Chain A
Amino acid sequence: MDFELTDEQKMLSETVTRFVAETYDFSKREHALRSADGWSREAWAALAEMGLLGLPFAEEDGGFGGSGVEMMLIMEALGRGLMVEPYFATVVLAGGVLRHGASAAQRAAIVPGVIAGERILALAHDEAGQARHTLAARTTARPAGDGWIIDGAKIAVIHGQSAGTLIVSATTGEGLGLFLVDARADGVSIEATRGYDGVPVASVRLAGVAVGADALIGEAGTGAAILDRSFDEARAALVAEAVGAMAETFDITVDYLKTRQQFGVAIGSFQALQHRAVDMLMQLELSRSMAVLAALSLDGDADQRRRNIAAAKAQIGKSGRMVGQEAVQMHGAIGITAEYKVGHAFKRLTAIDALLGDRDHHLARLVELGGVYPAE
């Protein structure tokens, strides 16, 4: 039992944190949001340059074979900057499906482009009217010749409009399958919009989209298991991102309490606000602990992994809401203006709770699993 980072991990954390602080300040982010893509190609290239896009991929795929801990450190740093670039969509979420399901040939065809920053991926799984965060889909894939024909509609496809390759979940005769789909293929139409957190999000329609046999990731019917594993990895990353966003929000708020003067004194001298700031610190530290737990649970026993990840996601749902709301309240009116970072952090924290299962979803999951602690 040891929670110290190695020297290499410390260096990674410092490097990425410094990169975000120095090159991705609030005005740069605003600039990226106003661009046609809605995110910064320049920042993306820099992340590629630093090798961060390859971090979780295996060495034989050209990556660095990084663990959950390295992922946690990167996501926390990106969370501090509220970065809207497709790191989560491409490297974590869709990348996770490749890592846990794709064949060597599929990985060889796609991963190098991802690592170089040239190929954006997006996972198209959620559907309107489906049970939330289910591992099933109404979109269908039926065999046709050597390949498949896919029909259906997807929502909440993060960075869908920028993706060159979509990973689409669809029901086959044998269960859920995951398919690589070229975003420019005939029958694919993408409706781009923007999430309230600034992150681009899309709806995708698939009308008679033909794909080859080599488009199927794993086998027809293994999609749910691949998603189950990939989603937990993605949840751990979201928990770490939330910790970064909370830490940034907290720091800004404590700074504001020290500088904002009312009634002739710094408002941080008021005990009502001091205690609330301490309550924020507590939520931040509990969340930090859960980010560590989530990161360390990914490669172990699957049952324990599910319990720990659900607990971590449930924790940051509560903590993120509390920290976000309190930060806005303690700032007063400035907290709800679009020109101030705190409000945007609040929005991102709100979105993180909604992604891949909110607090109630994971509490319900824990009830089903028999609790956080396995029975003796």
Chain B
Amino acid sequence: MNLEFTPEEIAFRDEVRAFFREALPDDLRRKMINREHLEKDDTVRWQRILNARGWAVTHWPVAYGGQAWTPAQRYIFQEEMALAHAPEGSPFNVNMIGPVLCRFGTDEQKRRFLAATANLDIWWCQGFSEPGAGSDLASLKTSAVRDGDHYVLNGQKIWTTQAQHADWMFGLFRTDGSGKKQQGITFLLLDMKTPGITVRPIETIDGGHDANEVFFDDVRVPVANVVGEEGKGWDVAKHLLGSERSGIARIGLSKERLSQLRSLERRLAAEGVLTPAEHERLAFKLAEVEVELRALELTQLRVVSADAHGGGANAAASILKVKGTEMQQRMTELVLELAGPAGLATAGHDWVSAAAPFYFTMRKVSIFGGSNEIQKNIIAKTMLGL
């Protein structure tokens, strides 16, 4: 056992660090530090910079543009990205549809979509949740009825993140309602410009517009756009949702936020904004958060090490999503507390005005991608046998 990175890993870290320092545009870095909203163009610009370096889709198979990195390298890359205040690319492209197409796509689908997906020439959105199918995703009802070499879609998706920007959607649709609910679901790709699609915005409590409703009214989708087999979409979705475990806890992000919290704490105490008693209490709370973050960081590293030695299911990996999201949310609470009454006004371009929207929007991280309660159900069943 040892905690140190190897000389090769340190050299890799330095290379990655230097790249982020050089390549990340200043305006993007500033927006990230101030927690400002990123425009579509910001994300596209950054993903293309990464892609030009070959680092946009590092965990895809090498044949499709990925990197043959070790688990430790992947960890280092993600941590450095967070510490450099670099945004992540589009998760729908990078972490979801890309790996799915690499695994299940036809040759034609791979040719048509993979390179464009990596370069963010195509912006994807995910059509999974429905008004009646949230945690119980398999009860989804939006139908896809075969008509010659097309399916005809009718129904509604909801919580569709950034559908307003999307060129294409990947989603789950019911092609057969006669059997078990997990059967008869088909994974489809559809062009968002297809007639019959209506996107309606949902405003969220942070004041932002990231979520949408998407309505389907006799939308015709070619049969060639099925991923995997008709009726086997649930297997594809499970592959997608069981996403890679390195990085799921967002340790680097939380570390970066913690160091920002630390400097804010010192500044506000020095300026006399916090009374000595308030400062003492805050310092304790920060210490508590740091302890847990350190424990989580070590847990993540244990998983990285286990992956390097062949991986397999383990208890440490199972807790990363729940604890990682709780940690991210805790950070936003503390920033909000530090902002104090100045944080009421959200019009500025600094951490104070971003604190409240950030706090409110981060409530989503313990809900999406399988709520933390669903995660606990899964852990109770798979790890504890309950």
| Chain A residues in the interface with B (C-beta under 8 A) | 1-5, 9, 69, 254, 257-258, 268-269, 271, 273-275, 277-279, 281-282, 284-290, 292-293, 295-297, 308, 311, 314-315, 363-364, 366-367, 371-373, 375-376
B residues bordering A, Cβ < 8 Å? 1-6, 9, 72, 255, 258-259, 262, 280, 283-284, 286-288, 290-296, 298-299, 301-302, 304-306, 308-309, 315-316, 318-319, 322-323, 373, 376-377, 379-380, 383-386
- Smallest Cβ distance from B327 to chain A, in angstroms? 11
Asked whether A366 lies within 8 Å of B291 as measured between CB atoms, the reply is: yes
Q: Chain B contacts of A290 at CB under 8 A?
A: 294-295, 298
Taking A285-B316, A363-B284, A371-B290 as known contacts, 10 extra A-B pairs with beta carbons closer than 8 A to each other, sorted by chain A number, are: A2-B305, A3-B302, A278-B384, A279-B376, A285-B299, A286-B299, A288-B299, A288-B316, A297-B3, A367-B284
* Given contacts A274-B377, A274-B380, A366 and B295 within 8 Å (CB-CB): no
Contact A1:B5 (CB < 8 A) given known A269-B386, A289-B299: yes
Whether A311 contacts B294 in the complex (CB less than 8 A), given A278-B379, A288-B316, A363-B288, comes out as yes
A287 nearest in chain B by CB position: B295
Bound CA–CA A233/B9 (angstroms): 29
B72 touches A1 (CB 8 A): yes
B385 contacts across to A, CB distance below 8 A: 254, 258
Let me know if B302 and A2 touch, CB within 8 A: no
| Contact residues in B for A271 (Cβ distance below 8 Å) | 377
| Complex contacts, A274 vs chain B, CB 8 Å | 376-377, 380, 384, 386
Q: Kindly list chain A residues whose C-beta atoms are within 8 Å of the C-beta of B302.
A: 3, 288-289, 292
Within the assembled complex, what's the spacing in Å between the Cα atoms of A288 and B302?
10
The dominant DSSP class at the B interface is helix
Q: State the 8 A-B residue pairs at the shortest beta-carbon distance, nearest first.
A: A289-B298, A274-B380, A372-B290, A286-B295, A3-B305, A268-B386, A366-B287, A289-B299
Query: CB within 8 A of B298: which of A292, A314, A366, A376?
Result: A292
Contacting pair A296 B319 (CB below 8 A)? no
Q: How far apart are A330's CB and chain B's nearest CB, in angstroms?
A: 12
Minimum CB–CB distance from B309 to chain A (whole Å) comes to: 6
A371 touches B376 (CB 8 A): no
Interchain CB contact under 8 A, B1 and A286? no
**Bound-state Cα–Cα, A4 to B305, Å:** 7
Q: How far is the CB of B278 from chain A (nearest CB, A)?
A: 14
In this complex, what residue of B is CB-closest to A274? B380
Cβ contact within 8 Å between A258 and B386: yes
